[in-house]
A = this chain, B = another copy of it.
Amino acid sequence: MSNRRCSVWFQPDGYRVDVPEGTGFLEAAAEAGHLIEAECGGKGTCGSCLMEVRAASPDGRPSEGDEPRLLYACQARVERDSLATPLGTAPGQRRSIVTGTSYLLRQRAELGPQELGSVCRRLHVQVPSPSIEFCLSDRERLVREVAKAADVGGAVTLDLEVLRSLPDTLRSDGGRVTVTLWCEGKTAAIMDVMPGFPEARHLGVACDLGTSTVVQNLLDLDTGKVLAVASDYNRQMSSGADVISRIDCASRPGGIDRLREQAVATINALLHSLCSTGTTATKDLRAMVVSGNTTMAHLLLGVQPRYIREEPYVPAFSDVPACSAAELGIEIEPRGRIYCVPAVGSFVGGDIVSGILCQRRIGRAGELFLFIDVGTNGEIVLGNDEWLMTCACSAGPAFEGSGVSCGIRSAPGAIERINLWPDGEVRGYDVIGGGKPQGLCGSALIQILGELLRTGLIDQRGRLSSDANHPRITRSGRALAFIVEHGTHTRSGADIVLTDGDIDNLVRAKAAIYSGCSLLLRKVGLTFQDLDAVYVAGGFGQCIAVEQAVAIGLLPDIDRARFVFLGNSSLAGARLILLSSKQRERCLDIARTMTYIELSAEPSYMDEYTAALFLPHT
């Protein structure tokens, strides 16, 4: 590589990274916090990392007269200032960035250099030599210096393994040692002491442990830079698609161990993938912060989650001190620490606390906001700087593509955008990764519902028109369906349809979320119009069609400028916590101050819900 640096602007965000000439586009994308799926593992064969690249002017606009080229991100190298649009297999069909962090989170939630101060700290310490007069033990002299250097308020502890090698370590470079510390509250645990002040990078991992997908960022804990990104399906998928089926599985003999092992195996495989390029070994990683829902946290720690789904819905723990990597079987440095972001309750987990941590950095001081994470459970938070209320609504997995006859998750083959002509004919659609469609993912389901309402093919109650002459309407027995695509043009050869049963499920899901929002607002005597901002979190939030979401009443009909689409705020929150002790303290505060409202115990919730079963609502 030369010393020359090039800028790459990644679309659609426009996020810029500066990299040395010759850097691979995949690395440049990782630098930008984008995950580019490379199913073949970077061999240039699967095409999933295809991107459109064109030369850029120094201000990031396309250079005149330069034709865009299609390149495999895993193969191509940055040779000039460029605009890069990750594609899939064909242009026009965007979105191979499935789990990246949005521009907004990268840009505005990022910690400044003066804010960095990882929960996993590395200190260079000069431990004074002992003498006959100054004859404190090795341990005491070290602890004293560390407490001074790290400004620790309380106790400094030392792992036994560290103590064992301490006498020689302290004496091998005249008392100069590099100390790795885990700072939790007022206590600090010395995880490691190495002789001298070596140049090695100080690394950790932020992990979003999702029910379906697990994403990791490799972080330089000194600079806060994201060095690599990796993601994969959660291997627990084989034990059920949602948390409820995972909990069922965990309640059966041997289930909890199997689920724990699957979570750990997923995490370990990603760690190896994070470290597969470059000179980093997984054993060099010192800490990991894991953000996930309450069930995921239970399963990772091997704690029985069954009572989460039994009234009164109480988790075994909401906050727990960091565990050692060895104890959990996570293949970073064995004495490295694994910390789970604290939860609020059974159905509002660390992922939501992470999300609010991001809101705190992005939002304006004093703003009244609503935070919505649409998933199997729609988690909702309403609040401002001073108070937070939260609830979880059993939206069901409809928006994740489950429980809908042709629904699939947001992955290659899924229709993610669709438009209808005014007469209800299909005008066009986008398929993730291109090619023939396989099914409908959440964003398409919202859009199609909005389009059907606009064109009058469904009424306010969500009932499908029984117009037997409409070319897209079909009837089988008493069931009606809207044909999105005929079998001749689909991957499986079967029609892609939306049945009236599917529409029912979708309406119930949106009603659950909308009525949850209404109820929280009503409890504090406010309305949607009072909101300064509505944050929409989750991978789902990244490509939601706002107008249609408003049209069907999933999102409130307020000034569109107040919507903020966060992307993966669970991962971004984990990153904040790993990089800053202050942010960890803050997340504890957030978890503690959030008032959880159990909707099933709210008498007015059923009324709200029933009222919301109309499109957009009553």
Is the Cβ of B166 less than 8 Å from the Cβ of A314?
A: no
Task: Select A135's contact among B171, B303, B323, B345, beta carbons within 8 Å.
Answer: B345
Scoring A residues 280 to 307 as 1 if CB is less than 8 Å from chain B, else 0, what string do you get?
0000000000000000000001111111
Task: Give the shortest distance, in Å, between A264 (CB) and chain B (any CB).
Answer: 14
Q: Which of B167, B318, B320, B600 contacts A303 (CB 8 A)?
A: B167
Q: Are B301 and A138 in contact (CB under 8 A)?
A: no
Binary interface encoding of chain A residues 515-528 relative to chain B, with 1 for a CB under 8 A from any of its CBs, else 0: 00000000000000
A130 to B168, CA, bound (A): 52
Known A160-B301, A167-B303, A307-B167; judge A137-B315 contact (CB<8 A): yes
Contacts A163-B320, A168-B304, A320-B163: A314 and B138 contacting too (C-beta < 8 A)? yes
- Indicate if A596 sits at the interface (CB-CB under 8 A): yes
Q: Which residue of B lies closest to A136 (CB)?
A: B314
Q: How many copies does the complex hold?
A: 2
Also in contact, A163 and B303, with CB within 8 A (given A135-B596, A157-B321)? yes
Residues in A559-576 with C-beta less than 8 Å from chain B? none
Instruction: Assess the A138–B313 pair: CB atoms within 8 A.
Output: no
Q: A171-215: contact bitstring with B at CB < 8 Å (1 yes, 0 no)?
A: 100000000000000000000000000000000000000000000
Whether A317 touches B164, Cβ cut-off 8 Å, given contacts A307-B171, A312-B131, is no
A140 within 8 A of B: yes
B345 touches A138 (CB 8 A): no
Any B CB within 8 A of the CB of A139: yes
| Complex contact A317–B171 (CB within 8 A) | no
- The number of chain A residues touching the other chain, given as a range, is 35 or more
B171 touches A138 (CB 8 A): no
Contact B598 A314 (CB under 8 A): no
Given contacts A312-B131, A313-B135, contact A318 B140 (CB under 8 A): yes
CB 8 Å contact bits of A136-164 with B (1 = contact, 0 = none)? 11111000000000000000011010011
In the complex, A309 Cα to B302 Cα: how many Å? 46
Most buried by B among A165, A167, A311, A319: A167
How far, in Å, is A618 (CB) from chain B's closest CB?
28
Least Cβ distance of A595 to chain B in Å? Answer: 11
CA distance A332 to B343 in the complex (A): 35
Q: A160-B323, A302-B164 are in contact. Are A132 and B317 (CB under 8 A)?
A: no
A87 CB, nearest partner CB in chain B, Å = 45
Q: CA A302 – CA B157 in complex, angstroms?
A: 18
Does A601 sit within 8 A of B, measured CB to CB? yes
Which residues from B are CB-within-8-Å of A345?
Answer: 135, 137
Write out the residue numbers on chain B whose beta carbons fall within 8 Å of the beta carbon of A302.
160, 164
Residues from chain B with Cβ under 8 Å of A133 in the complex: 601
- A327 on the interface (CB 8 Å rule)? yes
A to B CB contacts below 8 Å, 20 in the list: A130-B312, A130-B314, A131-B312, A132-B311, A132-B601, A135-B345, A135-B346, A135-B596, A136-B314, A137-B345, A138-B307, A138-B317, A139-B316, A140-B318, A160-B301, A160-B323, A163-B316, A164-B303, A166-B316, A167-B305
List of 9 A-B pairs having minimum Cβ-Cβ separation, nearest first = A139-B317, A130-B314, A137-B318, A167-B304, A132-B601, A167-B316, A138-B316, A132-B312, A137-B315
> With contacts A135-B345, A135-B598, A163-B317 known, what are 19 further pairs, Cβ within 8 A?
A131-B312, A132-B311, A132-B313, A132-B600, A132-B601, A135-B312, A135-B596, A136-B314, A137-B318, A137-B345, A138-B307, A138-B315, A138-B316, A140-B317, A140-B319, A163-B303, A163-B320, A167-B303, A167-B316
